[in-house]
């Protein structure tokens, strides 16, 4: 029952999976009620509380989760690769077993439509299986065998750091949350995971955590391999990052939240890496050739800007457009497309309010004008999408225009000449993405811009739109500060596993004492680099 006495939604129980939700933390498979004040999930569309009461984990419970993870860390990393891979596969299977009830609950908590959540579930399970395949391949072990200049036998492999703290993201209740990319990659590395669930979707987080717990038991994992902590208050997360047994942190969220965790990680007696994905405006540069057919260029821009109420970390928040008639025609087409859009339910009432305040902040800057605005949706938390415009001088003169407005708000900055465009790009902060639109006629200009874009972004696109993140081996979802705190890392794709590993060198060891992947007979058949060459499975 919720606080008003109305029945909880059907998503509170999963007949083919975990027991009805309780609002409790899960410590190494054990259900533990919190000790804080009761709070409830909130329906994104109405702001009404529902579901079971949740209570924040106590400081002692946070410490217990970290202790259990550390106690089983060596046992987990020592498991054969096939057993760890089977665990990841089982996580995907158990999540799928939850069926539509999981999607219904996630939709109520997040306001995201069922079709989007269906795709997100597929992405979540797909990346779990992708990391399972990575574990089986042995590639992440990074095995190297070499002979030093003096003839010394030198061998290297990567080992897991130890227990990892993961913070669920608000905008992806499945793919970037309890069993999302950070958790999947950390488990693939051989690191136990302690997740601090996101208060915007606590029921979804608990349901997925129960699926992971079931998968762990089913595949014979040490119990401490996974725990979930309930926490609405910041103290839970800070206590987790501050625990000396936690060795690294994965976070996706606001800049303020990321900075707080980075400070906590650096302030410890033994500092730890905090891999935080924070804010980005993801600039899209329209070159002259892209504007030959303005309607064809405008429609996908508006679609990308408004998809999911604009609540993607790769939302194209900044579009750099040539001044002149061709750019004017593009904006006219954007205005027509925008007028047909309608506001969608945002993730939380607070996020909807922050969006409205952010748009107002842009509008209050002299020199900014409205290009077009859609219509607000029917509910109280469905603000209208909007596109605003200014010139390059206005943009560079007003810091209020450079920050992210999380939602379906786009700022178009008009540039005159490639020198001004280059100056705009050089002044940008680090970004997750940067996109170029043009034709072969723009080749010379694009080549001149590309070195700057490589310095500013983790992923550079030609054509297309940055909201299309592919989950694959070559993907980079990261970038320079402040898009992330780890410019050499990614949170999507199999390269993400490297955040949770460190290299260890074995010099002049007898073969019988070496790890399996470094022995002469290579019983794991792991890929190994010998000198400058890579040998597959030999």
Residue 249 falls in which region: left (phi positive, over 0), alpha (psi -120 to 50) or beta: beta
Of 94, 109, 206, 277, which residue is the catalytic one? 277
Rounded Cα gap, residues 491 and 458, in angstroms: 11
Q: Which long-range contacts (CB under 8 A, 24 or more apart) does 512-515 make?
A: 514/155, 515/157
**Pure H helices in 221-286:** 234-242, 255-267
Residues with Cβ within 8 Å of 105's Cβ and at least 6 positions away in sequence, in order, are 9, 11, 12, 203, 204, 207
Give the Cα-Cα-Cα angle 92, 94, 95 (nearest 5 degrees). Answer: 65
Question: Side-chain half-sphere of 230: how many Cα atoms within 13 Å?
Answer: 30
The verdict on whether 313 is a catalytic residue reads yes
Q: Is the dihedral of CA 275, 276, 277, 281 positive or negative?
A: negative
Of 125, 191, 313, 390, which residue is the catalytic one? 313
Rounded Cα gap, residues 371 and 429, in angstroms: 25
Q: Is the distance from CB of 477 to CB of 490 less than 8 angstroms? A: yes
Q: Is the distance from CB of 348 to CB of 170 less than 8 angstroms? A: yes
Q: Which H helix or E strand runs over 215?
A: helix 202-218
Residues with Cβ within 8 Å of 262's Cβ and at least 6 positions away in sequence, in order, are 274, 276, 485
The verdict on whether 206 is a catalytic residue reads no
The catalytic site residues sit at: 277, 313
């Amino acid at each position: 029952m919720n606080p008003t006495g109305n029945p909880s939604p059907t998503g509170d129980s999963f007949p083919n999976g975990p027991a009805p939700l309780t609002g409790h933390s899960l410590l190494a498979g054990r259900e533990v009620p919190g000790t804080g004040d009761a709070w409830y999930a909130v329906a994104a569309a109405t702001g009404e509380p529902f579901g079971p009461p949740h209570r924040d984990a106590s400081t002692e419970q946070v410490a217990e989760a970290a202790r259990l993870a550390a106690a089983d860390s060596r046992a987990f990393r020592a498991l054969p690769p096939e057993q760890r891979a089977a665990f990841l596969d089982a996580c995907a299977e158990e999540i799928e077993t939850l069926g539509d009830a999981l999607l219904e609950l996630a939709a109520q908590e997040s306001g995201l439509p069922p079709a989007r959540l269906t795709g997100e579930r597929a992405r979540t399970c797909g990346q779990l299986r992708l990391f399972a395949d990575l574990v089986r391949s042995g590639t992440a072990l990074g095995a190297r065998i070499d002979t030093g200049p003096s003839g010394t036998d030198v061998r290297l492999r990567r080992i897991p750091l130890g227990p990892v703290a993961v913070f669920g993201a608000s905008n992806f209740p499945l793919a970037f949350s309890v069993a999302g990319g950070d958790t999947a990659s950390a488990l693939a590395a051989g690191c136990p995971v302690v997740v601090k669930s996101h208060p915007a979707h606590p029921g979804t987080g608990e349901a997925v955590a129960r699926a992971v717990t079931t998968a762990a038991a089913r595949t014979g994992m040490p119990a401490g391999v996974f725990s979930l902590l309930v926490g609405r208050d910041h103290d839970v997360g800070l206590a987790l990052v501050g625990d000396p047994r936690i060795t690294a942190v994965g976070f996706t969220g606001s800049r303020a939240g990321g900075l707080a965790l980075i400070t906590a990680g650096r302030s410890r007696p033994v500092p730890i890496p905090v891999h935080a994905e924070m804010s980005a405006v993801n600039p899209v540069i329209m070159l002259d050739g892209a504007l030959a057919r303005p309607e064809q260029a405008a429609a996908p821009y508006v679609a990308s800007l408004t998809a999911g109420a604009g609540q993607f970390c790769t939302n194209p928040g900044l579009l750099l457009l040539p001044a002149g008639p061709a750019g004017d025609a593009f904006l006219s087409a954007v205005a027509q497309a925008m007028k047909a859009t309608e506001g969608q339910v945002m993730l939380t009432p607070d996020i909807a309010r922050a969006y409205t305040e952010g748009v107002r902040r842009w509008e209050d800057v002299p020199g900014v004008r409205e290009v077009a605005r859609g219509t607000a949706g029917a509910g109280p938390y469905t603000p209208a999408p909007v596109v605003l415009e200014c010139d390059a001088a206005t943009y560079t003169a007003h810091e209020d225009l450079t920050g992210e407005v999380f939602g379906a708000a786009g700022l178009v900055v008009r540039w005159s000449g490639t020198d001004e465009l280059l100056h705009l790009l050089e002044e940008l902060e680090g970004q997750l993405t940067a996109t170029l639109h043009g034709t072969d006629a723009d080749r010379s200009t694009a080549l001149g811009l590309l070195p700057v874009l490589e310095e500013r972004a983790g992923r550079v696109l030609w054509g297309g739109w940055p909201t299309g993140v592919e989950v694959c081996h070559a993907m980079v979802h990261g970038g320079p500060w402040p898009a992330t705190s780890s410019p050499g890392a990614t949170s999507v794709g199999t390269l993400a596993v490297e955040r949770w590993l460190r290299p260890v060198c074995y010099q002049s060891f007898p073969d019988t004492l070496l790890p399996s992947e470094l022995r002469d007979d290579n019983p794991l058949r792991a890929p190994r680099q010998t000198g400058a060459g890579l040998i597959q499975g030999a």
